[in-house]
């Protein structure tokens, strides 16, 4: 796709920015302060797509996103898996022995916890990874380092003290590409798809068990089930489900029909192609 505008949360050099460049190399990436702003720009037509992280193989889900997505008027059009290779960045004249403080987004700090402890660095939480890298130029102190992408080192003229500072090999972040248009791919038997939806269960006994039972009886595989409390309530819960299948398949249609008996406010968020990267990631296994 050419001449598209892709909104993402963070500053230039963020992993979301890197994902935008990898998925949409011929488009313009637009930095936003918040996830909500990135989504809103798509909703009002000032951006074509939003690149939004939803989970990481090391640090788990980005809970804020699962709360924002049901409220939006956007649709999931694709998923992207971005391998995350954390770099330890510092000023050009710094060396590893100079470093006392390391800053980054809390999830990046969590994903590098073992190495941070190993070098006895003091971790400093920041709003995002690339912002922490950019701030090194303002601080101008050799004792400060940041954990960010290699793209950040290029953009802010920083040196890489360690190009693989993360604790786990294969660290990967899953992104969703959100669109205002609901472009559902045409169903083909030789392709694999994912349908994502959210719902609440009705106030009846064993409602969740019954709501999910239709997927089992119709041989439909649930890839992911996330639950979270609705704002302002400790009683009501909302569930996010990723399903292996396309809404044009009869077995999924039957499963969704059964779901409707025991659930309310069912909302299909999107139907999109299953990313082949899933085949290489045991953490995101669907077995």
Question: CA–CA separation, 233 vs 221, rounded Å?
Answer: 30
> In angstroms, how far apart are the furthest CA atoms of the chain?
65
Question: CA–CA separation, 17 vs 51, rounded Å?
Answer: 8
138 as an active site residue: the answer is no
Listing DSSP states for 130-141 in one string gives HHHHHHHHHH--
Judge contact between 73 and 181, C-beta under 8 A.
no
Question: CA–CA separation, 80 vs 73, rounded Å?
Answer: 20
**Alpha carbon distances (Å) from 42 to 39, 81, 140:** 5, 21, 37
175 as an active site residue: the answer is yes
Active-site residue, from 58, 129, 172, 173: 173
Strands of the sheet containing 193-201, edge to edge, are: 222-229, 237-244, 193-201, 263-273
Question: CA–CA separation, 163 vs 85, rounded Å?
Answer: 7
Active-site residue, from 175, 199, 239, 262: 175
Residues annotated as catalytic are: 173, 175
């Amino acid at each position: 796709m050419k001449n598209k505008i892709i909104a993402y949360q963070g500053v230039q050099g963020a992993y979301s920015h890197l994902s935008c460049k990898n998925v949409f190399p011929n488009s313009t990436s637009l930095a936003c302060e918040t996830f909500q702003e990135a989504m809103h720009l798509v909703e009002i037509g000032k951006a074509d797509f939003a690149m939004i992280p939803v989970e990481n193989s090391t640090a788990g889900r980005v809970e804020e996103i699962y709360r924002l997505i049901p409220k939006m008027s956007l649709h999931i059009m694709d998923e992207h898996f971005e391998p995350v290779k954390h770099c330890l960045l510092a000023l050009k004249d710094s060396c590893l022995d100079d470093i006392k403080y390391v800053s980054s987004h809390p999830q990046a700090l969590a994903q590098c916890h073992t190495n941070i402890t190993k070098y006895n660095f003091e971790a400093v939480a920041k709003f995002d990874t690339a912002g922490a890298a950019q701030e090194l130029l303002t601080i101008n102190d050799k004792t400060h380092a940041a954990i960010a992408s290699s793209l950040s080192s290029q953009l802010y003229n920083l040196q890489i003290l360690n190009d693989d500072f993360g604790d786990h090999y294969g660290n990967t972040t899953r992104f969703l590409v959100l669109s205002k248009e609901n472009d559902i791919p045409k169903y083909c038997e030789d392709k694999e798809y994912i349908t994502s939806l959210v719902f609440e269960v009705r106030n009846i006994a064993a409602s969740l068990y019954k709501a999910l039972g239709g997927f089992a009886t119709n041989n439909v595989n649930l890839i992911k089930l996330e639950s979270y409390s609705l704002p302002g309530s400790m009683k009501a819960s909302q569930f996010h489900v990723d399903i292996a299948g396309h809404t044009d398949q009869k077995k999924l249609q039957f499963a969704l029909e059964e779901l409707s008996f025991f659930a309310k406010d069912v909302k299909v968020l999107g139907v999109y192609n299953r990313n082949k990267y899933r085949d290489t990631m045991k953490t995101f296994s669907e077995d």
